[in-house]
Amino acid sequence: MKLAKNIQNIAKRVLINESEALNNIANYIDDQFEECVEAIYNSKGRVVITGIGKSAIVASKIVATLNSTGTPSLFMHAADAIHGDLGMIQDNDIVICISKSGNTPEIKVLVPLIKRTNCKLVGLVSNVDSYLGQQADYVLNATIADEACPNSLAPTTSTTAHMAMGDALAVCLMELKSFTSEDFAKYHPGGALGKQLYLKVDDIISHNEVPIVQHDAGFKETILEISSKRLGATAVLKNDELIGIVTDGDLRRGIEKGIDLDKVVAEQIMSVNPKQVEKGDFAVKALNVMQQNNISQVIVMDGNKVAGFVHLHDLLKEGII
């Protein structure tokens, strides 16, 4: 049965509300935001982020983003902080307190305790005139017009705005630190993402034999080399230099053309200018070369010498794809 309310329109209204809010808070990026980023960048301590309710969940996400991008961070629940967890704050830390209203009872209890430490307090708020907004050393303004909730009560647009402000903070710090993909890999060694960032072709070719024939190798010798090394291709050398590649496809096409199998040599059926990567390149580069050229293997070079092959199956096995 069709519901009376138009679900698609409701969903679109929510997304438009939140996207407009993000456009608006871009106008609130000011000198205080810049000073906050610089304070974190220059700090010898950690970033401790706190909040309560939905703000606590947002705080956990921002902590995770900062940690994974090179800024050591801790999550501290605002309610637990006043029952012992305040001890996790050390001198020179920077504390970011997230609150939509900036006036919740827990925040009013917590802020004076933080102010007694040798730490700077950052308020990520949607009400800059609030208690937190007035007490913070730096204010990150995430003011919104209203929530996407029809009663403008449930934290929806506000939490999106706070999370986006945290992302802006993290990316600014990444750029200040010149945080590279290699740095990112240090914190993400697991899974396909990690392997894309650290696995190199050197790690793969050691498991494969190196199929090679000379330019004047006969058809039978060539096909046996391809078959025995199980990579679907062989490099073709002349005077120890790579001049081409013979693949399963080259063999089939040669047979279809009616070549004389007793007289043909590798040089006559090979493909010239074979696709290559260098030893030391990331495995994901080999994958990109294969995808761009619709091929299943790529030759790995060590200078002018053939060092090995990487096959698409190798990348599948490693979880790169």
243-282: per-residue pLDDT in tens? 999 999 888 888 888 888 888 999 999 999 999 999 989 8
Domain boundary among 144, 179, 214: 179
Greater confidence, 57 or 280?
A: 57
- In a domain, residue 185? The reply is no
Per the structure, the count of domains in the chain is 2
Q: What is the mean pLDDT of residues 27-46?
A: 96
Least confident of 60-69, 78-87, 172-181, 193-202: 193-202
> 33-42, 71-80, 172-181: which range is least confident on average?
172-181
Domain end (from 145, 179, 213): 179
Q: Return d(Cα 95, Cα 46) in angstroms, integer.
A: 8
Per the domain annotation, does 189 fall within a domain? Answer: no
What pLDDT, on a 0 to 100 scale, did the predictor assign at position 180?
77
Q: Report which residue type is found at 274.
A: P
The Cα–Cα gap between 39 and 94 comes to 8
pLDDT per position as a tens digit, 123-135: 999 999 999 999 9
The answer to the question of residue 43 being in a domain is yes
| Spatial CB neighbours of 200, under 8 Å, sequence gap ≥ 6 | 280, 281, 282, 283
Within a domain: 190: no
What's the CATH code of the domain at 224?
3.10.580.10
Exposed / middle / buried, residue 311 (Cβ in 10 Å: 0-12, 13-18, 19+): buried
Same-domain pairing of 164 and 29:
yes
Task: Supply the mean pLDDT for the chain.
Answer: 91
Task: Print the domain residue range for 130.
Answer: 7-179
Nearest C-alpha neighbor of 266 from the set 233, 297, 236, 243 = 236
Helices (H), the chain: 7-25, 31-42, 54-68, 78-81, 105-115, 131-135, 157-176, 181-187, 191-198, 201-205, 219-229, 248-256, 266-269, 283-293, 312-318
In the predicted structure, residue 190 carries a pLDDT above the cut 80: no
Q: What is the pLDDT of residue 22?
A: 96
Count CB atoms within 10 A of the CB of residue 216: 12
- Looking at the fold, whether 110 and 210 belong to one and the same domain comes out as no
Domain edge (last residue) among 109, 144, 179 = 179
Return the SS3 of 116.
coil
Judge if 279 and 314 occupy the same domain.
yes
pLDDT cut 70: percent of the chain above it: 93
61 and 125 inside one domain: yes
**Helix, strand or coil, per DSSP, at residue 91:** coil
Q: Are residues 173 and 213 in the same domain?
A: no
What is the average per-residue pLDDT within 129-142? 97
Closest-CA residue to 178 (of 41, 301, 60): 41
Residue 77 annotated as lining a ligand binding site: yes
Query: Same domain for 127 and 270?
Result: no
Classify residue 195: in a domain, yes or no: no
Tokens 């053309």 found at:
257
Same domain for 15 and 154, yes or no, is yes
- Using pLDDT thresholds of 50, 70 and 90, give the confidence band for residue 25: very high
**Per-residue pLDDT tens for 291-321?**
999 999 999 999 999 999 999 998 888 877 6
Residue 219 lies in a domain: yes
* 163 and 16 assigned to the same domain: yes
Give the pLDDT confidence score for residue 314 in this predicted structure. 87
What is the C-alpha to C-alpha distance for residues 114 and 133, in angstroms, rounded to an integer? 14
CA distance 81 to 75: 10
Confidence band for 3, pLDDT divided at 50, 70 and 90: low
The reply to whether 261 falls in a domain is: yes
Residue 283 is predicted with a pLDDT of 86
Shared domain check, 23 and 167: yes
